Chains A and B, each alone.
Chain A
Amino acid sequence: MAIQGAALFGLWVAFSGDLSVEFLAWGGIATVVAITFSELLFRGTHEHTFTALPSRFGWYVWTAVRFLLYHPWMAYQITAASIHVAYLVLHPRIPIEPALVEFETSLVSEPAHVLLAQSITLTPGTVTVDAFEGTLLVHCLSRLTREQLAQGSIQRRVAGVFAEPAADRVELTDVLRPGQVPL
């Protein structure tokens, strides 16, 4: 909490570029408000730690490098999929075929699950609705985005980042009733 506060305040000073008392006071108030709200929101949630992760320093360096290399591919995916969604929206008949599906991911660690869920959400045409214990609930907008999800290319890339096993194909199951989802 003190570390977060110091980081936030440091960011404020760096970006305002002004060391007058008035600016610093406003920065202090903003920091306290932000920290208070995040404590109220996330109290108790960060006690859960990433136990499955290795503790070697080199692993973190290489994962960080692979994670940075992941971004250009993701940017390309987002652009291509945005054009597809634009086509769907502008088409006179709106050729969408929405479906709610669930699948079991082959990824093991929790950060990998988070990156996979966020990447699926950031890619236009697919939204991760929920995730629990390696099962992801995803809403697809069209047949093409559903097929891309089934091919599991995002999962293979994420598996590459974290050096984890990746399935060749993802088995998608349609979710039709609210009670079908084990929440």
Chain B
Amino acid sequence: MNIVALALMAAGLFFMAIAVIGLVRLPDFFSRVHAVSKSETLGITLLLLGLLVSAGVSLTGLKLALIVLFVAISNPVGVHVLTRAAVRNGLMPWRRDGLHLASEAQGER
């Protein structure tokens, strides 16, 4: 029981570490949003599942399950808002083939 909880929490911490590393290493706003939001969704879910296993079936467990649900709903919504605001303000993602630079040169600003 305890080992399962620890394994889940360790996996969760691994994906949260990935989120932080991605935030530093990736090149532009959009790819960083990927790293932070996604790896963290799974990271937080695994972490809370680990706590859920150690808490067992109880009121605390129910609260933890509810937090997982809220994160699963609010996380993509937050990502929509962030990226949509960026695109509406004229920010285009970095591309390996450099096509985004051509559009920047002919566009305003």
B 44-93 contacts with A by CB, 8 A: 59, 62-63, 66, 72, 75-77, 79-80, 83-84, 86-88, 90-93
Indicate if the CB atoms of B87 and A130 lie closer than 8 Å.
yes
Main secondary structure of the interface of B (DSSP, over half): helix
Given contacts A78-B41, A86-B39, A100-B93, contact A176 B76 (CB under 8 A): no
Indicate if the CB atoms of A127 and B34 lie closer than 8 Å.
yes
A 116-153 contacts with B by CB, 8 A: 117-118, 121-125, 127-130, 137, 139, 141
- Asked whether B3 is an interface residue with its Cβ less than 8 Å from the other chain, the reply is no
Shortest CB-to-CB span from A126 to chain B, Å, is: 8
With both beta carbons as reference points, the residue of chain A lying nearest to B60 in the complex is identified as: A15
- Asked whether A36 is an interface residue with its Cβ less than 8 Å from the other chain, the reply is no
B 1-54 contacts with A by CB, 8 A: 14-15, 18, 21-22, 25-28, 30-31, 33-35, 37-39, 41-42
A 135-183 contacts with B by CB, 8 A: 137, 139, 141, 174-179, 181, 183
Contacts of A117 in B (CB 8 A): 76, 80
Give A100 to B79 CA distance when docked, in angstroms. 15
With both beta carbons as reference points, the residue of chain A lying nearest to B104 in the complex is identified as: A177
Given contacts A139-B83, A176-B99, A178-B87, contact A121 B92 (CB under 8 A): no
Main secondary structure of the interface of A (DSSP, over half): mixed
Given contacts A86-B18, A89-B26, A127-B83, contact A177 B107 (CB under 8 A): yes
Q: Give A60-103 as 1s and 0s: 1 = Cβ < 8 Å from B's Cβ atoms.
A: 00000000000000000011011001100110001011111000
- Asked whether A17 is an interface residue with its Cβ less than 8 Å from the other chain, the reply is yes
Indicate if the CB atoms of A128 and B80 lie closer than 8 Å.
yes
Given contacts A97-B96, A99-B93, contact A124 B83 (CB under 8 A): no
Shortest CB-to-CB span from B37 to chain A, Å, is: 7
Indicate if the CB atoms of B76 and A178 lie closer than 8 Å.
no
Give A141 to B79 CA distance when docked, in angstroms. 14
Indicate if the CB atoms of A177 and B92 lie closer than 8 Å.
yes
Shortest CB-to-CB span from B50 to chain A, Å, is: 15
Indicate if the CB atoms of B18 and A85 lie closer than 8 Å.
yes
Indicate if the CB atoms of A89 and B22 lie closer than 8 Å.
yes
Indicate if the CB atoms of B34 and A125 lie closer than 8 Å.
yes
Given contacts A125-B38, A178-B107, contact A100 B80 (CB under 8 A): no
Given contacts A82-B42, A124-B38, A176-B103, contact A90 B92 (CB under 8 A): no
Indicate if the CB atoms of B95 and A98 lie closer than 8 Å.
yes
Give A150 to B66 CA distance when docked, in angstroms. 33
Indicate if the CB atoms of B59 and A15 lie closer than 8 Å.
yes
15 A-B pairs within 8 Å (CB atoms) are namely A86-B39, A94-B25, A98-B31, A100-B87, A100-B93, A124-B38, A127-B79, A128-B76, A130-B87, A139-B93, A174-B99, A176-B92, A176-B100, A181-B87, A183-B87
